[in-house]
Structure 1
Amino acid sequence: MCDSDNHQGYIADTSFTRRSVVLTISSVAAIAGLPTAALAANVTETDVMVPTPDGSADAVLFHPAGKGTWPAVLMWPDILGLRPVFREMGRRLAAEGYVVLVPNPFYRTKRAPIVTGEFDFNDPKQVQPLLALKATLTDAAIDKDVAAFITFLDKQKQTNRRKGAGVQGYCFSGPFAFHAAAVRSDRIRAVGSFHGGGLVTKDANSPHLLIPKTKASFVVAIARNDDQKQPEAKTILKAAFAAAKRPAVVEVYPADHGWCVPGSQVYDHASAERAWAELLRLYRANLA
């Protein structure tokens, strides 16, 4: 999911030399690079603790302010976890009319933020602890978590349970979105994976093998350098979606791995906005 063997371009790729992320709340607007309207949106943000079979997960919940109900969305962060930039992404999505939960995937080990200050993906001393944390997220753990997170969202008075729910993942959490769609196929109707790592592997638990268990429509946005390392992945995904009769857009973007998350040197604004627009089209079509 996120090691140098199967998370193409995220850690091992030399094009990411000196990629750093500065996690400072005071400069979050500048880091995020998000539209002013998103930062000023009338959205309610609440830090929450979500009960799971393995304890309480720290997370943040967003929804439009005022009275009303809206479709639920689970937004998985990338391997750097719940931090200011993902709070802004959650806020931006909620402003479009959704109840959004952004969890800390590593709650079993450490409360968010997982990383503070600058992070260098080319420094093994910084990367190895992160990979150790990632190793704790087994398929069984993720399946328990997605079930608990969707249940939590459905218990919110702001959630419209008559409408389908969505899930999206970034980088190492792309596979988590597939798991969510399979585990909660009764609720998940739309799935977005953005530069997701390890969606197609040779293992018996490859995420793409979960597609027949889902009842969702998909958007799978692939980074160009990931595609260069695993050009067959897009073809395998398209075939799997077709065989399962699941609607899907599988596309290679002209941007490198990590391009959707503002604040890094690989962030590509044009491609990120295009991917965001595709996500909104997916949700509007399937969560209505």
Structure 2
Amino acid sequence: MRKAQTFNEIMLDRCLHPDPLWSTLADKLAVRNYVKSTIGEKHLVPLIAVPDAFTQQVFDALPASFVMKANHGCAFVKVVRDKSDVSFEQLKQLADEWLATDFYLASRERHYRSIKPRIYFEQLLLDRTGNIPADYKMHIFTREQGDPIVLTGVISDRFGSPRHDFYDTDWKRMDIVLGDYPCSTVPAERLPNWDEVIRVATRLTEELGYVRVDLYVFDDEIFFGELTFTPGAGVAPILPERYDYEWGQLINAMPPPLARRSEGMSPGK
């Protein structure tokens, strides 16, 4: 059988043949143990509640602002800036829809099948200007020799007019278009703590093989978002098309992962 060559081919193969460890690390609650043991608890978004059931009492105890999420897939996110603008019934209906969703059926990423769905609530992150910070989606390609290659998609104004821009390891904007969001008219300035952002991201992935690390970076703070092992589920259009092949070659040239089976990473923890 021909070895997968392009990024999307490799992601499709990963969807069908996942490492069992990915089910733990793709679980947005279970992965917190790994993050805490690897880069420290200070990089975790503070949890407000992880209820066994979402009830009126849980809703009443929530603060004035928060984010409601589910742990077993992507796009299960509801930002609540002012609790007085929503009702328990509205959020309960949404939570029930999420919990009833088998994310594996949506994308055929097999490592999601064994994740038990949970609803949880996090602190709403806002920068000094009161805006939701950008989402840094960092594709980490380790090498046998030399520093990792880091290609970062920055999604800004995600809940308004989203833009998606790509930067290389040295924060030079690239001509990549990935997904449906348009690029910004001008590149963003290099983050003052960019070197630390790269250090944190690569520390999380150094023994896992290829993985995309999502971080929130603002006001010199760095918060963990998630680990994604099959971005786009193998069907994401990458333009120009040459990057689909180039990214695939970067993955094929990577050293084999040495996934750590420590207590914080063991399935079921």
TM-score, normalisation: structure 1: 0.28
Higher relative contact order (CA 8 A, sep 6+): 2
Greater C-alpha Rg = 2
Report which of the two has the higher share of helix. Answer: 1
Q: TM-score, structure 2 length as denominator?
A: 0.29
